[in-house]
Amino acid sequence: MRQKSVIPTFFIVLQILLMSFTVFAIPTSPYKFYSTMPDNSQYARDYNPAPAHGDYWGNMMCGPTSAKNSMVWLAKNNPAYKKLKQKIVGDQWVDMSHQEIIEEIAKKMKPGWDWNKDKYPGVSDDEFVTGKKAFAEARGLKLNIKWMKNTSLGLKWGTETVGEPTLKWIMKEIDDDEDVEISTPNHWVTIDVDTVWMKEWTTIAGYMCETFEDENGNGYWDLGEPFWDNNYLGLNLGTAGIYDSFLYINDPANVHDGWQLTEIKNGKLYVGSLGYIETVVSESPVPEPASITSVLLGLGSLGLWKRGK
């Protein structure tokens, strides 16, 4: 009698485990930092040569600039997505300047905006994610764009999580090697003669936190649970848990750059002088490498199973 092969079972179990870690992965380290994440300025005055439409840049370009920093980082880390930092000239793709990328993303986020008439008006959350999607699709590329906010954006695409942004969500995206942007409603801007309270977009380049024994499984440090410092940065830490967490901010306005203390106040996640995080956004190539591996393992195990029958 022919014996049943146990190899297909092994491959199937391996595939399930891999898919589980892909979906439910938790932070594996209390520290991760993207040293190559760009940190370009939102101000035309900081560029030489000046942007083509530099007179219309300024205080409201933080959204397109943060998205640009993420897009360039994504392109450098995923060769198949190098067009995210390129334009087509004749029949060839060539690298764009930082200024060119920012301006194109700005137009994608505000399609009806006229460079020749008005200063950039800033972007809402839905305009931010939709503009990034349009920028990638103009190059024949697809992005898996995800966001977390306490209200729905009402879009019929992307991966939306409705709820207050959490450090756990941010850490998981960074652990998965994804770029992350946040918006915080902490930005005074003068438009003509009126000073208004606007949101500010920045890019996150890393996190650092203490680790602790989550004995009751609630995801936070509670009094009495063991903890220990893994202070990779030599920062002044407090007691434990969420109050000893830091995010590294790349700020296009050049005001809030660097490691910022992250803590929960009144149910909201605050980041240093930026205030609370209103929206957090991330994106990854489509399909993601881990998903491809899962599919290949699945096909391989199916083939072995058929041969064993």
pLDDT for residue 241 is more than 60: no
48: its two tokens: 């030489």
226: its two tokens: 């063991």
Does residue 1 lie in a domain region?
no
Rounded to the nearest integer, the mean pLDDT of the chain is 77
**Count of beta carbons in the 10 Å neighbourhood of residue 277:** 26
Does residue 212 lie in a domain region?
yes
Alpha-carbon distance of 54 to 249, in angstroms, equals 25
Does residue 22 lie in a domain region?
yes
**Cα R_g (the chain), whole angstroms:** 22
**Are 66 and 184 contacting, i.e. CB atoms less than 8 angstroms apart?**
no
pLDDT for residue 284 is more than 80: yes
Tokens 């897009």, residue located: 71
Three-class DSSP category at 241: helix
Three-class DSSP category at 118: coil
Please give the pLDDT value at position 72.
94
Q: How many structural domains does the chain have?
A: 1
Alpha-carbon distance of 157 to 283, in angstroms, equals 13
58: its two tokens: 């300024």
Domain residue limits at 106: 7-308
pLDDT digits (tens, 9 = 90+) for 145-172: 999 999 999 999 999 999 999 988 998 9
**What is the number of residues in the chain?**
309
Please give the pLDDT value at position 11.
44
Region of poorest pLDDT, from 7-11, 100-104, 145-149, 218-222: 7-11
Three-class DSSP category at 14: helix
Does residue 2 lie in a domain region?
no
Alpha-carbon distance of 211 to 199, in angstroms, equals 31
Does residue 127 lie in a domain region?
yes
Please give the pLDDT value at position 179.
92
Strand 159-162 to 143-149 pairing: parallel
**Mean pLDDT confidence for 59-66:** 88
pLDDT for residue 302 is more than 60: no
Alpha-carbon distance of 123 to 198, in angstroms, equals 10
pLDDT digits (tens, 9 = 90+) for 71-91: 999 999 999 999 999 999 999
Does residue 62 lie in a domain region?
yes
**Mean pLDDT confidence for 95-109:** 93
Tokens 């995210």, residue located: 84
**Mean pLDDT confidence for 283-300:** 60
- The angle that helices 98-109 and 125-137 make with each other, rounded to 10 degrees, is 120
pLDDT digits (tens, 9 = 90+) for 133-143: 999 999 999 99
Please give the pLDDT value at position 66.
94
Please give the pLDDT value at position 13.
44
**Are 18 and 290 contacting, i.e. CB atoms less than 8 angstroms apart?**
yes
Does residue 138 lie in a domain region?
yes
pLDDT for residue 22 is more than 60: no
Please give the pLDDT value at position 178.
92
**Are 164 and 280 contacting, i.e. CB atoms less than 8 angstroms apart?**
no
